[in-house]
Amino acid sequence: MKIGEKVPDLELKDQHGEHFSFRDLVGEKAFVVYFYPKDFTPGCTKEACSFRDSYEDFKELGAEVIGISADSSKSHSKFIDRYNLPYIFLSDPNKKAREAFGVKPNLLGLLPGRETFVFNKQGELLHKFNSMNAGRHMPEALTVLKKNRN
């Protein structure tokens, strides 16, 4: 994805097994979409909890947070319960979201990539950030939203 492009028109299942469409957020609020390798792994748990710990800051900026991995809705539900995660998780088992967003694998293709995308209320990409350092994604996304608040 390139800066300024619209969020892909995709439908995935959330942590409840319900259909979720990005188009439902467009026009409603800004949003952060972060792709991560796997539920319950140390780096991914750190990243998820950092978004949890700052979730009120995102809400105050009128933004939603969405985590995406290949894990099942059931796995996401357990992950959410274990770590008290207040935001949306989507299941991408066939990697259609990863492909639509252009998320590449990391570590010689052995791990799914860790990448964060920040969209404005109109669904346009403001910023993307690719780093296997899980601790850097939340502050980067929050900074972009603060700079671009309407």
Residue 29 and residue 64 in contact, taking contact as beta carbons nearer than 8 Å:
yes
* Cα 41 from chain centre: 16
Active-site residue 44, yes or no? yes
Hey, how many other C-beta atoms are within 10 angstroms of the C-beta on 109? 9
Q: What are the C-alpha distances in Å from 79 to residues 31, 45, 63, 90, 146? A: 21, 9, 22, 12, 28
- Alpha helix (H) ranges present in the chain? 42-53, 55-60, 73-83, 96-101, 137-147
User: Which of these is catalytic: 12, 25, 44, 66?
Assistant: 44
Active-site positions read 44
